Amino acid sequence: MRRTASVFLAAAVAALGAGTTLPGVISTAHADVAARAAPAGPRATAVPLAQLPDFSQLVARYGAAVVNITVDEKVAAAQAVPQLPFDEDDPFFQFFRRFALPQPRGDVPVHGMGSGFIVSPDGYILTNAHVVANATDVTVKLSDRREFKARVVGADQRTDVALLKIDARDLPAVKLGDPKAVKPGEWVVAIGSPFGLENTVTAGVVSATGRALPDSDYVPFIQTDVAVNPGNSGGPLFNLAGEVIGINSQIFTRSGGYQGISFAIPIDVALDVERQLIAHGRVIRGRLGVTTQEMSQPLADSFGMKSATGALVSSVEKGSPAERAGLESGDVILEVDGHPVEHAGELARRIAETAPGTRANLVVWRHGSTRDLTAVIGEAKNAQVAAASGAGAEGHGRLGVAVRPLTAAEREQNGGRNGLLVEEASGPAARAGIEAGDVILAVNGQPVTSAAELRRMIGKSGKTIALLIEHGDAQLYVPVTVG
C-alpha cells in the first residue's frame, strides 16, 4: 500500500512541474498527464486495510455475566505481620524488638478479590479455587451493582477451579464454547477486575494450547498474550463468537504483574469439575500409581524409539494399580484405551478422567518392543496420578561421576533398593543435572549395583544413555551423551 501510493505521488509531482503546489485532489487533466508520464507496467490494485476486531458487541452482550468476587479470610497474626529481619543472637534484634509496633494476637482479617462468571441463570458461578481458598465470607457483586453472599459449593485445588452459588434467579449467563476448537493466533477477550477495576476488558491472541505447567498435571492450559493482572483470576476468556473457552488463572511474571504471558483453564476441564462438585461434593479421579516424566529425543534414542512420544515411567508405587498391572520403571506408556499418549501430562489427564474400577488397556514400550498391559484403575486420594517432571540436559564426553555402592544402612533407608551413590559429579553428568548425593539405580533400564558394572554398561551403550536417578524423594531418568 505504501509503495503504490509513493509511485502515484512521484508521477503527479513530475507532471505538475517544479514549484507547483499539489492540491488535495488532482484534477482530471493533471491525472491524464500523470498517467502519460508514468512508466508502462502492470496496473496497481488497491489493497484493503486489515480490519481489527470490534469487541464492543461481545462485551455489551456478555459482560453482565462477569462478576466481581470479594473474599474475607482470617490468617494467623504471624503470617499477616512482617517479622523482624534478625535472629535473636543479633545485637539489633533487641533494639528493634523494643521499639517495634505491638504485634497483634490471634487471627487477623485479610481481604482479597478476584473475578468469576455466571454459568447458569439460577446462580452458579465459576472462579478459581485460589480466589476463595480459606474464605470465611464470599461476596459477589454483579455489573448492575447488586451484591450477594455466596456459598462455596466446592473447590478443586488440582485444577484450581471453584464453584460458587448465590440465591438469585434469571441472571445473565455466559455462552460456553469448545476449547478443543481453539487455535493459536485467534483473537480472545478477557473480562475481569484487575486491581479491583470491575469489568475491565483486555484482548489479545491465543499463543499456544495444551500447555503443561508445574504442579498442574490435569490441566492443558490455553496460553495467551491477553493482559491478566491480580484480580483477573477466575474471570472468563471469550472467543470472538462470545463463547467462554477458559478461566483466566495464572500469569508468568518476574515482577508480580503482567509480562505478556497468561494462562487459562479450558472450560471443559472446569465444567467436569462443576458437574462432579454438584453431584458428589468432591472430584473423583482415577489413579494409576506411577511417576512419569516427559520424553526427549536423547531418551528415545537410548530406548531404541524412533520418536520422543509417550510418558516415561520413572517409578512405580508399591501395591498400586500400576504394579499389579506389571508396569515397570523404564516403560514408556504409548496408549491408553486406544488414545495415543504424546506427552506425560496427557497420561495424567487420561487416567484422571477414567472412573475408578475401570479396566484400562495400556500399550507400553519395553526393551525395544511394544506390549499390551491391563490395569484396573484405582481412586486418587491425596497422591497425584502422575507427576510429570522435566528431563535433564544433555552432556558431552565421558560420564564424569565418582560412585560407590550403598551401605546396608543406606539401602534400608532406600527401601531395600541397591544403587550407586554419586560422591562427585563433573563433565557430562554434572551438565545433565546429576549431583553429589544422587543415587544411580539403573542404566538404560537395567539395574546397576557396582562401579565395575556401571563402567561395563556405559561401554556397551551407544552415544546416549539413560540413567535412572534417585534425587531426594524423586526418581527420574536423565539422558546423558557420552563419548
Catalytic residues: 130, 160, 233
355 conformational bin, left if phi > 0, alpha if psi -120 to 50, beta if neither: beta
For residue 66, what are the contacts with CB-CB under 8 A and spacing of at least 6? 115, 116, 117, 118, 143, 174, 191, 192, 199, 235, 236
For residue 360, count other CB atoms closer than 10 A to its CB. Answer: 18
For residue 3, count other CB atoms closer than 10 A to its CB. Answer: 7
Which residue has 546429576 as its cell numbers?
Answer: 434
In 453-470, which positions are buried (b, 16+ CB within 10 angstroms) versus exposed (e)? ebeebbeebeebbbbbbb
For residue 90, what are the contacts with CB-CB under 8 A and spacing of at least 6? none
Q: At what angle do helices 28-37 and 2-16 cross, to 10 degrees?
A: 100
- Measured distance between the N- and C-terminal CA atoms of the chain, rounded to whole angstroms: 57
Which residue has 478461566 as its cell numbers?
Answer: 247
The set of cell numbers assigned to 341 is: 499418549
Measure the CA–CA gap between 224 and 261, rounded to whole angstroms. 6
Measure the CA–CA gap between 228 and 213, rounded to whole angstroms. 17
Helix (H) / strand (E) containing 2: helix 2-16
Q: What DSSP designation does 232 have? A: -
Measure the CA–CA gap between 464 and 479, rounded to whole angstroms. 7
Measure the CA–CA gap between 300 and 464, rounded to whole angstroms. 9
* Helices H / strands E in the chain, number of each: 13, 28
